[in-house]
Amino acid sequence: DGYFYHMMRQCRYSSKDLQGIELITSYVFNQAENIRFNSTVGKFVGYTEHGVKNAEAWNKGPELAGELGELERVCKHNADLHYST
């Protein structure tokens, strides 16, 4: 009973070049992905009616800059750790 919500963030490393790093953040509600941010695309994309509305708003607001900051803060900052293992 109840609702299930989670957010999952992934850093994908395709080469040792820091330009080859991709950040993907998925927002899931009741096992359905509503919104995804992909740093390669450079914006949020909605997959449900509610997700499309939120993605449009987030792409115009501070959420987009925040997510692009996560690419630097999380993925690029930890790239050396990823490549050393």
Separation between Cα atoms, residue 83 and residue 79, nearest integer Å: 6
* pLDDT digit string (tens) for the chain, length 85 residues: 678 999 999 988 876 666 778 999 999 999 899 999 999 999 999 999 999 999 999 999 999 999 989 888 888 777 776 666 6
pTM, two decimal places: 0.82
Residue found under tokens 């998925």? 26
Separation between Cα atoms, residue 27 and residue 54, nearest integer Å: 11
Amino acid occupying residue 48: T
CA dihedral angle for residue 67, residue 48, residue 21, residue 60, rounded to 10 degrees:
-30
Tokens found for residue 44: 């949020």
CATH code 3.40.50.800 for 5-84: no
Tokens found for residue 53: 């509305």
